[in-house]
Amino acid sequence: MKRFSIVSSLAVIQVALIATTAFAKPTIATPTSLAMPGGDGGIGFDDLRFSPALHQVLVPAGRTGKLELVDPKSGAITSVAGFSAQPKFGGGHGQGTTSVDAGDGVLFAIDRGRGEVSVIDPAARTITSTTKLAGSPDYVRYVAPTKEVWVTEPGRKEIERFAFAHGKLVHTGALAVAGGPESLEIDARRGRAYTHTWDDATVVIDLAKFAEVTRWKNGCTSSRGIALDDARGLLFVGCDEGKAVALDVAHDGKIVGSVATGKGVDIIAYAPALGHLYVPGGDDATLSIVAVAATGKLEVLGAVAIAPDGHCATADDRGHVYVCDPAHGALLVVTDPFPKS
């Protein structure tokens, strides 16, 4: 177990205020770097997650062959080994484990190297079962209302579905998603899931029927990241071209907010307690901190310089944002200095 004191070393960072009508690069940036074990030489990070139930930041560490669990209070890092590993970082995020989710007291993680999805006991820190996938995986999500696990497979243009019972996954079907699927978010409150096409649409899926219901134009040219404020019924979309959009899920995906950010947006994050959306622009090496009003209106509060290709982020419940730094095999930890929106 590696320990790194986030609490003692993180200072509230200085953030450059920028206009809400146009994106501007920050002038000051001082995030703290949190190195992942075995990350020297780089890691192809992708789908970072925070589990409120486990109170851990979940970090699939790509080529290292490990899933890292980070305690946001103490900074302790604990590893789960057993995934496929590579000695060198090949760029991108196609090596080893790159997506994870928590549910029903366990963790689910994909392995791109082996084309598998694994079930993990987080207390024992061990892989308890593995299941072969039909295609190369991208995202994995636990679907609580139906006790299922869904895995997106963009190469096959489908979502593969598994029943979860007695600690194992059993294949139960697949759903074709024309033009996608990119990203995946489960809306248990409304019995829906959301994914994107690679261009300008968000796909709405009925959980019980495992069927596409409708598609919404989301205002993107190239849809990428996704996040949900389930209490307020707002779905957030990250656009690769440098934009974040808010959709009203109760009113047929009506666009209720839009704001310019850094370019190269991929995986976005949301802190419901603060009402803040975090949008990393990997091409411009910036993280935009965005206030979300109750109406869905978006306003950029400030921006922080991050690492080049820092395309993925997650947020804990202590005001920290974790942004990937692929070249250095580390996470950049940012403290959000802004008040609740």
Task: Give residue limits of the domains in the chain.
Answer: 6-335
What is the Rg, in whole angstroms, of the alpha carbon atoms belonging to the chain?
18
pLDDT at 328: 97
Residue ranges, the chain, pLDDT below 70: 1-29
User: 134 is written with which tokens?
Assistant: 């039909």
Pairing outcome for strands 211-217 and 126-132: unpaired
Query: Where does residue 337 rank: exposed (0-12), middle (13-18), buried (19+ CB within 10 A)?
Result: middle
- CATH architecture assigned to 6-335: 7 Propeller (2.130)
Q: What is the pLDDT of residue 90?
A: 87
Note if the pTM is more than 0.85.
yes
Angle at 170 between CA 165 and CA 174, to 5 degrees: 125
Q: Is 111 helix (H, G, I), strand (E, B) or coil?
A: strand
Strands (E), 61-157: 66-70, 77-81, 100-103, 106-111, 116-121, 126-132, 140-143, 148-153
Does residue 114 sit in helix, strand or coil?
coil
CA distance 299 to 276: 10
Two structure tokens written together for 78: 């604990």
| The dihedral sign for the CA sequence 145, 141, 287, 1 | positive
What is the chain's length?
A: 341
- What pLDDT sits at residue 30? 83
Q: Say what the pLDDT of residue 339 is.
A: 92
